[in-house]
Structure 1
Amino acid sequence: MGTQPEVVTTFTRAVSERIGALLGPVDAALARRYPGEPGTRQPVHTVYVPADAFGAGTARAWGEQALAALDEHAADAAAFGAVLGLPEKLSGEVYARVRAKLGTEPVEDLRIDFEDGYGVRPDAEEDAAAARAARLVAAGTGTPYTGIRIKCLEAAVRERGIRTLDVFLTGLIAAGGLPDGLVVTLPKVSHPAQVAAMVRLMEEFEKAHGLPEGRLGFEIQIETAQAVLGPDGRATVARLVEAGEGRVTSLHYGTFDYSAACGVAAAHQSPDHPVADHAKAVMQVAAAGTGVRLSDGSTNVLPVGPRERVHEGWRLHHALVRRSLERAYYQGWDMHPAQLPTRYAAVYAFYREGLGPAAERLAAYAAGGGDGAVLDEPATARALAGFLLRGVDCGALDAAEVTGPTGLALSALDALAGRCGRAENGWRSS
């Protein structure tokens, strides 16, 4: 081999240093605003229960009612698969996992509602309900995630919302401290200043009780047109996340309030309406890379009544959940126990159908090549690893089903997916 030609350059070291100094503040800002995937489990759904209907056995009761609906309207895998159009092999796997889930952990995220589902009550009554909710949550609800939805920070109900938050959080402290998996929901946000105000409330509470800075986070419900597009023509959602100063944990789409705000007739208010797709696309781009998660809304068409109506409701709900998953909305709302079977059926089928292809592609990527049919880049490997980990998190896949065919340990998958590492419940605290 001959002598390699000398490499000639123009830029001096001083030029590179000046560019580094110029971009240093930008590097820091990007790292702060876009920390990436939190690395914790995301629930597949949120169940909202009015505060006066919430009890110690709420989650268990939802599971029992969901199983009863299956027993009555789809007593075996073949019947359930036929309703939803699942292949025979898949229906058996899914049905068994759905029944097991409903018997052990039917609700992943429980929200005690003091807003629309609760309404306006006398102050003494809401105070008592908030204190009671704190006692029950402190004792344990049997769900990985639990919290409350307070009234919004609009002028008419602001003081009531703040007081309910105060009574609930103070009650938890008195009962032993803030539990893991605690979630607070701020609804009907229409301006970044409301998010900034929520941050100040959290800061005040942390200081008063000697809690670590950033211990309290909250999720934002996108239910107003102003939350998506401001009067200046800018995307408000991104400004809401920024105003949260790292405390915003997720953005939840509010199907009916947002649809009504956009003038959609009641009969057409649905998570798959074009106005919903637009809002959620803006939310998705605004949240990308920030560590803020997304949740779709709900359908109010419930699978109740005669078997034909139950099956129709199941098919609709199953299709909507599947549609959301395909659009990278991995969480949604469930409004009735009979929706739990189709929530988990859609989720489990989604991951089990994709297990083989995803594992094969990831194994080829990890091995440094493949058969040439698909040439995946690091960003795609990240998505493949994230897909498999989500499947394990929700119970659709067993760890061995993922680590075996990929040849990768869960810690290696975490690294590929950009997760912070193995974690159970809880949420990003800063």
Structure 2
Amino acid sequence: MRAVLPAVVLAAIDARLASTDRLLAAVYPGDDGTRQPVHTVYVPADRYTPELPIQWGRAARQAAAAAGGVEALAVDVGIAPEVAAAVAPLVEQKLAREPIEDLRVDFEDGYGDRGDHLEDADAVRAAKRVAAATGANFAPPFIGIRFKSFEAPTRARGIRTLDLFLTTLMDQGVLPDGLMLTLPKVSTVAQVEAMVDAVEALERAHGLPHGRLRFEVQVETPQLVLGADGVAPVARLAIAAPGRIAGLHYGTYDYSAAVGIAAPYQSLDHPAADHAKNVMQVAVAGTGIRLSDGSTNVLPVGDRAPEGWRLHARLVRRSLERGFPQGWDLHPAQLPTRFIATYAYYRDGYPEASARLRHVHDRTSGAVLDEPATVRALAGFVRRGVQCGAITAAEVAADTGIDERALAALATQRRTTT
């Protein structure tokens, strides 16, 4: 057999596709496999203290105990008894050890307008407390702030709070590895480009490596989902800010109100919410930008606790099944159902995923012949389960013969430049 196309043809094709190769490598590298938190907890800036995760964990355990314990609560929210029995001790350990995975100190809707003097002081105080928590190992794996939006009325205030917070952290000699910065109410690509300008200036001012400061974009306005020109601006974000955007977070109530949904019907599972999130999902597929669902404001407290827990658990599971592995929590009593629903999701899917991974090196055995992309999805699913504590690495090694390093390699096959 001999090939008939001359080398000059291949060279011409390479030249034609050079820009495509650069685009795929720069904008669509795939997920990097680092840990993604299963939730983000929002607290007003003036209420944050280094001890807050411990306090929330204690309150969450007390709430679960009042419901008869974690296992009873799991059954009550619809988890099969055998799965509830398996996840209960894992959830109890989680609430004692790491009740909050990601914490956002909020200077936006949860804080409001308190005047410049007070917000300046709170920004400095919050940074000092984050530094103290990080130094004392009290801080969650991910922590940061949500500052005010880059809309005209709040732009200067938001940038000043961001500056004061980061500058104080640097003055304290602490920049958490899991630092998260959240830009809310984004309406245009230009606002994201302006955020890139801001973090690049802060990096230069503090001598930080280029790209050290990344940020999340909150999708809370319909203008980001469908622009005036009939295209989806959210799909341009990865190109406008390559490597800078860590995640897209759906803003349940701002978005719902903006598209005219009446307050009683604003929810994570409203069709309008699903449309926005479907667009977000397609827009960032392959970019490595993570997705997070929003929150429910029906809190599991008082007489409404059973209703609130069942709703929360259902919405958490629904988000996971639709490819949104993260969401927001607003109250300590939501933590038990966050981890119950999350752990049950991974435990439910683990037997099939582990069985199929067991045959990954022997494509002649097993009932399903998986493509490489499916193998990557299976490994990613199991790895996320391990990262959040729903599955142990020892279980995976025993059930699949794959250790943590090999699992990571299967889950994170990324594009590279040539």
Q: Same fold (TM over 0.5)?
A: yes
- Looking at structure 1, the residues matched to 401 and 347 of structure 2 have their Cα atoms a distance apart, in angstroms, of 18
Structure 1 residue 173, shift from structure 2 partner: 0.4
Task: For residue 176 of structure 2, give the secondary structure of its aligned residue in structure 1.
Answer: coil
Which residue in the other structure is 1:267 paired with? 264
Q: 2:171 is aligned with what amino acid?
A: A
Q: Could you tell me which of 237, 248, 263 is aligned with 1:251?
A: 248
Structure 1 residue 353, shift from structure 2 partner: 1.1
Q: 1:335 is aligned with what amino acid?
A: L
Question: Does 2:326 correspond to 1:312?
Answer: no
Q: Is the 8 A contact 2:53 2:100 kept in 1?
A: yes
Structure 1 residue 377, shift from structure 2 partner: 0.6
- Structure 2 residues not aligned, in runs of 5+: none
Task: For residue 160 of structure 1, give the secondary structure of its aligned residue in structure 2.
Answer: helix
- Looking at structure 1, the residues matched to 378 and 69 of structure 2 have their Cα atoms a distance apart, in angstroms, of 34
Which residue in the other structure is 1:222 paired with? 219
Q: Is the 8 A contact 1:150 1:185 kept in 2?
A: yes
Task: For residue 112 of structure 1, give the secondary structure of its aligned residue in structure 2.
Answer: strand
- With over 3 angstroms needed to count, the CA separation of the structure-2 counterparts of 1:126 and 1:419, relative to structure 1, is farther
- Looking at structure 2, the residues matched to 201 and 245 of structure 1 have their Cα atoms a distance apart, in angstroms, of 15
- Looking at structure 2, the residues matched to 417 and 315 of structure 1 have their Cα atoms a distance apart, in angstroms, of 32
Structure 1 residue 71, shift from structure 2 partner: 1.0
- What TM-score do you get using the length of structure 1 for normalisation? 0.93
Structure 1 residue 190, shift from structure 2 partner: 0.3
Structure 1 residue 88, shift from structure 2 partner: 2.1
Structure 1 residue 241, shift from structure 2 partner: 2.6
- Structure 1 residues not aligned, in runs of 5+: 1-6, 421-430
Structure 1 residue 206, shift from structure 2 partner: 0.8
Structure 1 residue 386, shift from structure 2 partner: 0.2
Output the aligned Cα RMSD.
1.2
- Looking at structure 2, the residues matched to 76 and 10 of structure 1 have their Cα atoms a distance apart, in angstroms, of 68
Q: Percent identity?
A: 58
Q: 1:336 is aligned with what amino acid?
A: H
- Looking at structure 2, the residues matched to 9 and 38 of structure 1 have their Cα atoms a distance apart, in angstroms, of 37
Q: Is the 8 A contact 2:70 2:336 kept in 1?
A: no
Structure 1 residue 55, shift from structure 2 partner: 1.2
Task: For residue 151 of structure 2, give the secondary structure of its aligned residue in structure 1.
Answer: coil
Structure 1 residue 419, shift from structure 2 partner: 5.7
Q: Any idea what the Cα deviations from partners look like across 1:99-147, whole Å, max 9, x if unmatched? A: 1111110000000000000000110100000000100111124200000
Q: 1:108 is aligned with what amino acid?
A: E
Which residue in the other structure is 2:24 paired with? 30
Task: For residue 359 of structure 2, give the secondary structure of its aligned residue in structure 1.
Answer: helix
- Looking at structure 1, the residues matched to 74 and 206 of structure 2 have their Cα atoms a distance apart, in angstroms, of 52
Which residue in the other structure is 1:152 paired with? 149
- Looking at structure 1, the residues matched to 163 and 213 of structure 2 have their Cα atoms a distance apart, in angstroms, of 13
- Looking at structure 2, the residues matched to 112 and 332 of structure 1 have their Cα atoms a distance apart, in angstroms, of 16
Q: Is the 8 A contact 1:39 1:419 kept in 2?
A: no
- Map 1:243-392 → 2, pairs under 5 A: 243-306=240-303, 309-371=304-366, 373-392=367-386
- Looking at structure 1, the residues matched to 152 and 287 of structure 2 have their Cα atoms a distance apart, in angstroms, of 30
Q: 1:37 is aligned with what amino acid?
A: D
Structure 1 residue 76, shift from structure 2 partner: 5.4
Structure 1 residue 20, shift from structure 2 partner: 1.0
Q: Is the 8 A contact 1:105 1:142 kept in 2?
A: no
Structure 1 residue 369, shift from structure 2 partner: 2.6
Which residue in the other structure is 1:125 paired with? 118
Q: 1:124 is aligned with what amino acid?
A: H
- Looking at structure 2, the residues matched to 252 and 88 of structure 1 have their Cα atoms a distance apart, in angstroms, of 33
- Looking at structure 2, the residues matched to 217 and 143 of structure 1 have their Cα atoms a distance apart, in angstroms, of 18
Which residue in the other structure is 1:189 paired with? 186
Q: 1:142 is aligned with what amino acid?
A: A
- What TM-score do you get using the length of structure 2 for normalisation? 0.96
Task: For residue 373 of structure 2, give the secondary structure of its aligned residue in structure 1.
Answer: helix
Q: 1:31 is aligned with what amino acid?
A: A
- Looking at structure 2, the residues matched to 85 and 368 of structure 1 have their Cα atoms a distance apart, in angstroms, of 37
Q: Is the 8 A contact 1:191 1:240 kept in 2?
A: no
Q: Is the 8 A contact 1:150 1:161 kept in 2?
A: yes
Q: 1:333 is aligned with what amino acid?
A: W
Question: Does 2:133 correspond to 1:136?
Answer: no
Q: Could you tell me which of 226, 237, 248 is aligned with 1:240?
A: 237
Moved more, 84-93 or 355-364: 84-93
Moved more, 257-266 or 16-25: 16-25
